[in-house]
A and B are shown apart, each in its own frame.
Chain A
Amino acid sequence: GAGVSQSPSNKVTEKGKDVELRCDPISGHTALYWYRQRLGQGLEFLIYFQGNSAPDKSGLPSDRFSAERTGESVSTLTIQRTQQEDSAVYLCASSLVTGTGNTIYFGEGSWLTVV
């Protein structure tokens, strides 16, 4: 597609439920990132994927968070046993390659509300 596509755009879930958030990166982009943005705050790095290399999971806040990527295409971020503190916008981004100087393009995010 023309840009990074994320779904769902909005998700309300009950505390304790699992949620899956999907990201379709820009076609041809080998690098894919997930960030979390709490209301009125900055962007918190979660995980990135680069081609077939092992993902950098250093930003995942707990073992309730996991992500997968199929080849160089779609990615799914899964949050198990959601907590109210997980409420945030989850932003996916992609770039041609990792490394400095490569423009990172963001999707519009998936707004997660845990009630």
Chain B
Amino acid sequence: QQQVKQSPQSLIVQKGGIPIINCAYENTAFDYFPWYQQFPGKGPALLIAIRPDVSEKKEGRFTISFNKSAKQFSLHIMDSQPGDSATYFCAANGGSARQLTFGSGTQLTVLP
């Protein structure tokens, strides 16, 4: 019930490509879905977040798509740049779950 499943484990795209990272959850009480970006040797940092009352949210080149009925959400990075190379984690919480439950992470490499 608390699990968040993330795929793919790793992703390589060319500069300008649009990497897509997918997550699925089971707990229907979850109502907050953030994405975190982590560079090597650093702690994760909040990138963008969405609530289930909207199906899409954009912030700059980053977009979250949310499908409540399928219990899935995804991160799209438009016009990806080498500086976007990092590990991306989806997460969720809500209901009785006060702490964030994280996906297993996606290591993104954007080639120049």
Contacts and interface: CB of A to CB of B under 8 A. Distances in A.
B99 A100 contact: no
Interface in A61-108: 91, 93, 98-101, 103-108
A22 B85 CA distance: 30
B93 A100 contact: yes
B7 interface: no
Interface stretch (B14-22, B39-47, B54-62, B70-78): B39-47
Residue of A56, A99, A101, A105 with most partner-chain B CB within 10 A: A101
Interface in B8-62: 31-32, 34, 36, 41-46, 49, 51
Interface residues of A, number: 25
Contacts of B99: 33, 45, 48, 56, 59, 98
B105 A98 contact: no
Nearest to B6: A42
A105 B103 CA distance: 17
Given A42-B89, A43-B102, A108 B43 contact: yes
B46 A104 contact: yes
A4 interface: yes
A105 to B, nearest CB: 8
